[in-house]
Amino acid sequence: MNQVYQEGKVFAKSYIEPFTERTDAESRFPEESFKALAEHGFLKLLVPEAYGGSGKGLEAHAEACLAFAETCATTALCYMMHNVAVMCLVTHGSEELKKRVFADIVENGKFMALAYSEFGTGTHFYITETTAEVNGEYTTFNGKKSMVTSASYASYYLVLAPSAEEGKINNWVFPLASEGLSFGLSEWNGLGMRGNSSCPVNIDHVTLDSTHRIGAEGSGQEQVFNVVAPFFITGLGAIYSGTAMHIFEIASGHASGRKYPDGRTLSNIETIQIHIGSIYKQASAAKALTMEAARAGANGEADALAKILSARIFASEAAIECGRLAMRVGGGKAYNKALPLERLLRDAYAGQIMAPSADVLTVWLGKALTGQMIP
């Protein structure tokens, strides 16, 4: 692993781990960790050097998400979505918009989020029911987004809405302070990823000028499939690989530390050895596949899309299986929550349904491997 991963691991130990249990128990957004992410330069990881950032790309993005997820999946998820939003600006934003938002990230520690999913379209988040009425240089939006991560905590939200060009969409930046923007915070009570403040966002006659649009008129779908998809899907692969590795760390540590009166440990039992071996095998395979996918994507290789899709699907499924086996290893201590394995298993379950879901991505993978159009 490269420098970003190693720095991320050190950072997570001091600035993420102390808040992990409370984040889950209280469904509390990790504000302290995000303040530290800003102070230590991680929020500007993908911001170009010309704007005061680190200028990194897909591989560094995956490394950071992986490192954070090996301590707290919730924090890694919120961070990942910030990076995806940043990359949309990097690749398609106007000079004016980049200067404005990147300065807020670099100088003020602000961060971004994605407000894409809607109740009517679910996992196909690129299909939008939000309305956009154009009046000269201004556009007025109405609609309701669902499951917006980092809701009310991020300072900027990327919103997909219809384009003036028939059948196309635009990608917009909505500042937190936009009049008509409100959050249904009381509606979030997740099974896992409980601190990500994922809730509906109401868009009630929000009016913005054209400088808030990312890219050319009608370019939203291009951004979704050429920028959002690779960074988002690779990021999720890293998060669930990290969750699986975290599960291995806890399960193997418990097996080695749990002693019987005769001096033997739980790890001396052959069945436990098999479970630990299976957990490590799947976790390390997910991690390796994810980093290979990030490398292929960064280099624009022909099979990069297939690798990225495979990594995300495999990692989310592997994390669940690792959690299932780890609960057996942990036994009563796991079920009584003396170990964090129950929490990690709950976090892992989110991976199969997070848009685009594992089922949708499996279809996409089949299409990619047989030369068909996606979606």
Domain around 30: 3-111
Same domain, 99 and 23: yes
Contact 40, 31 (CB under 8 A): no
3-class DSSP state of 133: strand
Distance (Å, whole) CA 19 – CA 162: 39
In terms of domains, do 98 and 37 share one? yes
Do 235 and 356 sit in the same domain of this protein? yes
What does the angle CA 39 – CA 148 – CA 100 come to, to the nearest 5 degrees? 50
Q: Are 345 and 312 members of one domain? A: yes
pLDDT of residue 123: 62
- Domain ends where: 166, 185, 218? 218
Secondary structure letter of residue 180 according to DSSP: T
Q: Are residues 357 and 227 in the same domain?
A: yes
**What is the reported pLDDT for 368?**
95
Same domain for 341 and 249: yes
Domain of residue 212, CATH code: 2.40.110.10
Question: Is this model's pTM higher than 0.75 or not?
Answer: yes
Q: Nearest 5°: phi and psi at 108?
A: -115, 0
What local confidence, expressed as pLDDT, does residue 212 receive? 98
pLDDT on residue 355? 83
Last residue of a domain, one of 197, 218, 239: 218
User: DSSP character for 299?
Assistant: T
194, 218, 242 — which closes off a domain? Answer: 218
pLDDT for 189 equals 87
Instruction: Please give the pLDDT value at position 188.
Output: 81
Structure confidence at residue 122 (pLDDT): 64
Amino acid at 126: Y
Strand arrangement, sheet containing 169-175: 112-115, 156-162, 169-175, 213-214
* Burial profile 292-318: b = 16 or more Cβ within 10 angstroms, e = fewer: ebbebbbeeeeebbbbbbbbbbbbbbb
In a domain, 375, yes or no: no
Q: What is the pLDDT of residues 96-149, one digit of tens each?
A: 999 999 999 999 999 999 999 898 876 667 778 999 999 999 999 999 999 899
Q: Is 292 found in the same domain as 212?
A: no
Tell me how far CA of residue 273 lies from CA of 50, 253, 276, 277, 326, in angstroms. 51, 12, 5, 6, 11
In this structure, are 96 and 127 located in the same domain? Answer: no
At 59, which CATH number? Answer: 1.10.540.10
- Is there a single domain that holds both residue 232 and residue 334? yes
pLDDT tens-place string over residues 294-348: 999 999 999 999 999 999 999 999 999 999 999 999 999 999 999 999 999 999 9
Q: What is the 3-state secondary structure (H, E, C) of 311-328?
A: HHHHHHHHHHHHHHHHHH
Identity of the residue numbered 127: I
- Say yes or no: 28 and 106 in one domain: yes
pLDDT digits (tens, 9 = 90+) for 77-109: 999 999 999 999 999 999 999 999 999 999 999
Averaged confidence pLDDT in the chain? 96
Same domain, 107 and 133: no
The model's pLDDT over 248-272, given as tens digits with 9 standing for 90+, comes to: 999 999 999 999 999 999 999 999 9
The closest alpha carbon to 334, from 347, 319, 345, 348, belongs to 345
Count how many domains the chain has: 3
Residues 259 and 340 in one domain: yes
The average pLDDT across 208-221 equals: 97
